[in-house]
Amino acid sequence: MSSPLISRAETAMERQISSESSPHKGLRAEGPAVAAHWARYIEQVGNQASNEKRLNQLRRGVADCARSNRESGLPVVEVKQWPSRVSSVRTDVYVAFDRVATYSHGVAYALDAQNCSLVEQESLMATVRSLQGVCKVDLLAKLATSTCANTRQAARRPMPSAMAPRPGSSLSTMPSPLAPHVTGERRTIAGHTCDVASNPLDPDQGTRCYARGGMFPGHGPHVVDDGTALVIESVSKEGFVFKADEASFDMAAPAGIFSPHERAGIRIEGAKE
């Protein structure tokens, strides 16, 4: 299913990223599954108007570079495939009882001043956040941060006794200058209801929409008592923007989703061979 934020992918890399399967679909179910809420979306920086502005700047930069290089007798490589966005990231988020795993496959385009072509910068990352810390894995370089050595404890699957009543407290009972403020508006994204809240970290006063549903809230903040920590929409002028095109609650996720640093071939920084 294509994202509503990108009408069509125009480069080979954009087509690859938009059509690839979610990470959990490529993992074998080894051991007990982990209950998790999941969402999938294309993430970008800035809204559509911001993207069009960046694309126009990129096109002007390429044209100016080509004109200058031709006048100077320098090489010019014609751009045959223009991207639909200057940068975009296909993101899969898995919110478990005690941690969150985020898989991001992105691409960004910039001008190569040497020959006026486009430089394609691909990224493929996995990040796991829990009370133990943050573990980041570069899946292209097959390198994990040293903090991953401290996050080897397996993700917990909440037992029925922990699901009723729903554990955790909503942010409405935890006042903080950095806490989101619920606006009272509800939206329907990817077939699910979500509660709109302010995003205090967004300088453009953007909003995020926290999904309702599921048998547990999940690791991280949630803005209403019967909501979850799963964000399925982010609106901003210049900040992070996305709208989920798929979402699911209480899915049985392979345990390996929450331990990307344990995959074959992954090295941990500072670890002895």
- pLDDT value at residue 134: 94
Q: Which residues pair with 214 in a beta bridge?
A: none
- pLDDT value at residue 202: 87
Domain boundaries, the chain: 12-20+33-268
Distance in angstroms (rounded) separating the CA atoms of residues 273 and 268: 9
Phi, psi of 48 (to 5 degrees): -60, -40
Distance in angstroms (rounded) separating the CA atoms of residues 202 and 183: 16
Query: Which pTM value belongs to this model?
Result: 0.86
CA distances from 80 to 11, 12, 117, 118, 121 (A): 9, 11, 9, 10, 17
Sign of the CA dihedral running 37, 89, 154, 222: negative
- pLDDT value at residue 162: 39
Parts of the chain with a pLDDT under 70: 1-9, 29-31, 151-177, 271-273
- pLDDT value at residue 159: 40
- Rounded to the nearest 5 percent, the helix, strand and coil shares of the chain are 20, 35, 40
Residues whose CB is less than 8 angstroms from the CB of residue 191 and which lie 6 or more positions away in sequence, other chains included: 247
SS3 31: coil
